[in-house]
Amino acid sequence: MVTLAIAKQTLEDMLRRKILLILLIVAVAMIALGPSVGFLSPRESSAVLRSLGLAVILLAGLLITVLTGIQVIPTEIERRTVYTVLSKPVQRYEFVLGKFLGGLFTVFVMIASMGIVFIGVLRYQEGHFATEMIQGIMMTFFQMTLLGALAIFFSTFATPVVNFFLSFGLFIVGNMSAVTESLLNNKNVATRVIAGAVHYAIPNFGNFNIQNKLIHPQVVIKDMNVFIMQNIAYALIYSAVLLLLAIIVFDRREV
């Protein structure tokens, strides 16, 4: 009950943030205007529209997740609202989980809103519901779940500005998993060690990018459902570990 109360308050607080609403409006407008850029590639207008839609959802989702993740806990400390919350019978882990879930609900609402518009635009353009796109939207959401957990973890000890660059930086590096994986076979030992450390320690955000496979069906994945479930499990387990670390750090933090 306590965790959900904090999550609900966080969601409501985040949905009042103008910057997030502006991001959502701009993203929805870009998705809605997607059909108008189909002329750039008349033969593959559908692929362009799908690619644009998923890219916009990813980019907006990324900004919304980072801006939410870096703010939810530091803002409480900065505004001193944390005093009235943690002086109540609230365990610190309940506070961290509540803040994470509130941020996650915010990201879910935003991505779901963009996704609904995206599926609607595709339905209008193609005459059928492109349900396979839901997989791409879902994968973006779980990618953002992992990124949100990472930002929450950093927010327990880093300032929002430092956290912003850390989260963004690791997201970019984590998206280069194909590169780091290929470097694991490099002849140079040092390169192999560094690539290995980066590949295994940093969340593998690249695994969630299934846009190419969706947009270009010729790319074969043996079993899409298994692939998706594996990635969801990866996101959930990795997020749980990050949240556990966040709780351990925050439990010792003075507010």
- Interface positions with another protein (CB under 8 A): 1-2, 5-6, 9, 12-13, 16, 79-91, 254-255
Q: Are 108 and 187 in contact (CB under 8 A)?
A: no
**Angle at which helices 18-32 and 45-79 cross, to 10°:** 180
The 10 Å CB-count burial string (b at 16+, else e) for 27-54 is bbebbeebbeebeeeeeebbebbbbbbb
Q: Are 135 and 213 in contact (CB under 8 A)?
A: no
Least distance in Å: CB of 94 to another protein? 9
Closest CA to 100 of 241, 254, 252, 255: 241
Taking the least distance from each CB to another protein, the nearer of 80 and 222 is: 80
Least distance in Å: CB of 2 to another protein? 6
Taking the least distance from each CB to another protein, the nearer of 76 and 204 is: 76
H helices within 87-210, ranges in order? 92-126, 132-155, 160-174, 177-183, 189-201
Taking the least distance from each CB to another protein, the nearer of 12 and 126 is: 12
CA distance 224 to 252: 42
Residue owning tokens 């490099």: 186
Least distance in Å: CB of 51 to another protein? 37
User: Quick one: tokens of 244?
Assistant: 């556990």
Least distance in Å: CB of 5 to another protein? 4
Least distance in Å: CB of 250 to another protein? 12
Taking the least distance from each CB to another protein, the nearer of 223 and 254 is: 254
